[in-house]
């Protein structure tokens, strides 16, 4: 009798638990909208905050986002992906911390039969080819280097006085983004190669990573000004965040007053950099279209979350590596209004 009562009690408990537990999908969304799991490598990144905003705006009434700040830790991101999968998201949109970690995420997505859209940090071709439900949204990294190089060439040729010592050589310092990041590697290589290909002789005074970060950019520039002073004739930055840091440092060293000038170029065209261009403290930048990259990431993620073709109802196109590549555009004072529009 005692045993029977115990069994009955257990059965009652099991039923009531089952009745309380929402289905995985409902738990994730709380609504009928599909739930999409998103990670940003770190919220504290100038450019990525604009991509994030574009994703959030696009999602508005179409999907529920499980949005995660991976705080620059791949281990944290891996855990976040596990959690999102167990909550029942229908698709993943992943801004990797470590561009080499795509295969780890793909293994998890594959095991749960979930589609995954990588964005901003491009996985290598082998990882992308290993899963038919993986796509990428970003840019053609080399293009930003070539365009930045052209901005430098045009400005250098138009301003012979920038060759301060008149030796016919452009002596530059270069603030690099995160080593191993396809954008950082390509921008570093192609910006300088484009300048050289235009017949300008160059000398590299310094090249170090500022990890895409303003504060690190300022610290490096402080040290380089102390070491080289006016021997620096060009400041090439893999992104605007670091360019802004370099400009702070140059301001403090008395540049941009009277005829003391230093040319600085960046990439991204974030609003703060556009302000510096207007103030004449930055020569130019390259639009890295956050709005369209965020928009495309969401459009593809929503489609695959609903079991549709990733491009259905969109105007995006995929290349042979399953990537949507949003074009870069040169930005100088001449087309600043266009760049301002792009970030609204």
Query: Which residues sit at the interface with ligand BGC, rule CB under 6 A?
Result: 45, 47-48, 120-121, 181, 183, 212, 239, 241, 267-268, 288
Query: Which one, 268 or 299, has the nearer CB to ligand BGC?
Result: 268
* Tally of CB atoms within 10 A around 194: 20
Q: How far is the CB of 117 from ligand BGC (least distance, A)?
A: 15
Between the two ends of the chain, the Cα-to-Cα distance in Å is: 73
Q: How far is the CB of 86 from ligand BGC (least distance, A)?
A: 27
CB-based contact 136:321 (threshold 8 Å): yes
Give 3-state DSSP helix, strand, coil % of the chain, rounded to 5.
50, 20, 30
Query: Which one, 163 or 272, has the nearer CB to ligand BGC?
Result: 272
Element (H, E) at 204: strand 201-209
Query: Which one, 181 or 325, has the nearer CB to ligand BGC?
Result: 181
Q: How far is the CB of 323 from ligand BGC (least distance, A)?
A: 14
Give the CA dihedral 164, 283, 188, 178, nearest 10 degrees.
Answer: 120
Query: Which one, 200 or 273, has the nearer CB to ligand BGC?
Result: 273
The three-class DSSP label of residue 5 is helix
Q: How far is the CB of 285 from ligand BGC (least distance, A)?
A: 10
Query: Which one, 48 or 264, has the nearer CB to ligand BGC?
Result: 48
Query: Which one, 45 or 185, has the nearer CB to ligand BGC?
Result: 45
CB-based contact 93:117 (threshold 8 Å): yes
Query: Minimal CA–CA distance to 322: which of 172, 162, 155, 106?
Result: 106
* Element counts in the chain: helices (H) and strands (E): 13, 12
Query: Minimal CA–CA distance to 235: which of 214, 272, 262?
Result: 262
Q: Token pair of 210, please?
A: 């500022």
Q: How far is the CB of 53 from ligand BGC (least distance, A)?
A: 14
Query: Which one, 139 or 171, has the nearer CB to ligand BGC?
Result: 139
Q: How far is the CB of 201 from ligand BGC (least distance, A)?
A: 28
Q: How far is the CB of 241 from ligand BGC (least distance, A)?
A: 6
Beta bridge partners of 204: 172
Q: Token pair of 314, please?
A: 């969109």
Residue 168 vs residues 125, 199, 236, 258, 283: alpha-carbon distances, Å: 41, 11, 18, 24, 20
């Amino acid at each position: 009798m005692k045993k029977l009562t115990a069994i009955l009690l257990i059965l009652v408990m099991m039923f009531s638990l089952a009745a309380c537990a929402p289905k995985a999908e409902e738990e994730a969304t709380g609504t009928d909208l599909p739930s999409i799991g998103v990670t940003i490598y770190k919220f504290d990144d100038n450019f990525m905050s604009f991509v994030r905003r574009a994703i959030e705006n696009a999602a508005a009434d179409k999907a529920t986002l499980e949005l995660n700040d991976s705080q620059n830790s791949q281990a944290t991101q891996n855990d976040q992906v596990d959690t999102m999968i167990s909550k029942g998201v229908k698709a993943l949109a992943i801004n990797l911390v470590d561009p080499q970690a795509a295969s780890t995420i793909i293994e998890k997505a594959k095991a749960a039969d979930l589609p995954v859209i990588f964005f901003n940090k491009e996985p290598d071709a082998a990882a992308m080819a290993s899963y038919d439900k993986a796509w990428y949204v970003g840019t053609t990294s080399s293009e930003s280097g070539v365009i930045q190089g052209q901005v430098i060439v045009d400005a250098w040729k138009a301003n012979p006085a920038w060759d301060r010592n008149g030796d016919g050589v452009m002596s530059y310092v270069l603030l690099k983004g995160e080593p191993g990041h396809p954008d950082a590697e390509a921008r570093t290589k192609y910006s300088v190669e484009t300048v050289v290909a235009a017949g300008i002789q160059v000398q590299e005074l310094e090249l170090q990573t500022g990890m895409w970060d303003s504060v690190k950019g300022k610290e490096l520039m402080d040290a380089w000004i102390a070491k080289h002073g006016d021997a620096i004739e060009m400041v090439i930055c893999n992104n605007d965040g670091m360019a802004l840091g370099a400009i702070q440092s140059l301001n403090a060293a008395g540049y941009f007053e009277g005829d003391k000038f230093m040319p600085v170029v960046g990439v991204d065209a974030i609003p703060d950099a556009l302000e510096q261009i207007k103030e004449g403290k930055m020569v130019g930048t390259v639009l890295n279209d956050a709005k369209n990259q965020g928009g495309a990431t969401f459009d593809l993620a929503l489609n695959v979350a609903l079991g549709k073709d990733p491009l259905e109802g969109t105007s995006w196109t995929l290349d042979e590596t399953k990537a949507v590549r949003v074009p870069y555009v040169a930005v100088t004072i001449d087309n600043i209004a266009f760049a301002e529009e792009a970030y609204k």
